[in-house]
Amino acid sequence: MTSPVLPPAQGGGVLDTAAIAQREGKESPGGFWRDVFVRMRRNPTAWIGAVIVLVFVLVAILAPILAPYPETALPGARDITPTHIPGPGELPAFPLGLDRFGGDVLSKLIWGARASLLVGVVSTALGLVGGMLLGLIAGTFGGWVDTLIMRIVDIILSVPNLLLAVSIAAILGQTPFAVMIAIGASQVPIFARLLRASMLQQRSSDYVLSAQTLGLGRGRITMSHVLPNAIGPVIVQGTLTLATAVIDAAALSFLGLGGGRPETAEWGRMLTYAQSELAIAPWLAFFPGICIAVTALGFTLFGEALRESMDPRTRAR
């Protein structure tokens, strides 16, 4: 059969395959991740989530510049009375009012973004590394090794995530590092099961059978072929888990397991001390609650958009 003759590229020289693909209504070949990026760029949900996450990250990084006062400063302590806490707009120097200790609410919200980002990223990284290690071992060796690891994972999954995190944090002590370990440990089973299931699906693919026919070893096939193709769903889950980690960190701090001084800026701790002041200062609970909800929404929207972009069923449309 004779091959179709392609028109020459404008200006002469090398054939412009990208332009031809565009004229035919097809995307330029660039691999899986390029396709995912193109689909993300066209998704309004991805843009909304990315903007929220970017603002959150920038506020956390630039907290020393953006915050009007230091993290533990109490510049408005003299303005506090047992029956009245200045609210938003009452004092020009404190646009969002003061808390029960005399701290600037705006400054604490900004510094709290840094604490929430640190806990979320570190705890998710711990859970991701631990879960991928277990999932990689189970998916590579199979047999009794897979069975043993998955039964342990099933036992851990039988306990609700937050309850498991509370138990671990209570055992390790009331410190921010204990909160990171507790949240990360509660996420390990999720990543382990996800990577193991994805690897089992990839192991039955034609390219794996071809590699086995060529005599490649199990380790080389796993690290060079199976793992790179199976890690996509884990990345998506990691993005979504960041939202859960921020909420869990606030919950542990709300329960008094976060440690630190009472006036330390952290959104969950701010909610804790706002309980007794709801009647006279409801904004003390409103502002950190909104920050937690919006941040979690941003990570969720971005993660869902990433999942849709990597889903073969939606990519084929």
Per residue of the chain (317 residues), what is the pLDDT tens digit? 444 444 444 444 333 333 433 343 344 444 667 887 888 888 899 999 999 999 999 999 999 999 999 888 888 888 888 788 888 988 888 999 888 888 899 999 999 998 888 888 899 999 999 999 999 898 888 889 989 999 999 998 888 888 888 888 888 887 888 888 999 999 999 999 999 888 888 877 777 778 777 777 777 777 777 877 788 888 888 888 888 888 888 888 888 777 666 667 888 888 888 887 888 888 888 999 999 999 999 999 998 888 888 766 555 55
Q: What pLDDT score was predicted for residue 17? A: 34
| Residue 211: per-residue pLDDT | 76
Q: Is-contact 187 122, C-beta < 8 A?
A: no
Place of tokens 């397991």: 257
- Predicted confidence at residue 313, as pLDDT, reads 59
Look at residues 164, 302, 155 and name the one whose alpha carbon lies nearest to residue 235. 302
The two three-digit tokens of residue 98, written as one number: 């003061």
Q: Give residue limits of the domains in the chain.
A: 32-78+88-315
Which letter does DSSP use for residue 222 in this model? Answer: I
Say if domain 32-78+88-315 classifies as CATH 1.10.3720.10: yes
Token digits of residue 287: 């502002």
- Distance CA(178)–CA(83), nearest Å, equals 36
Cα 1 from chain centroid?
A: 52
Tokens of 311: 């889903």
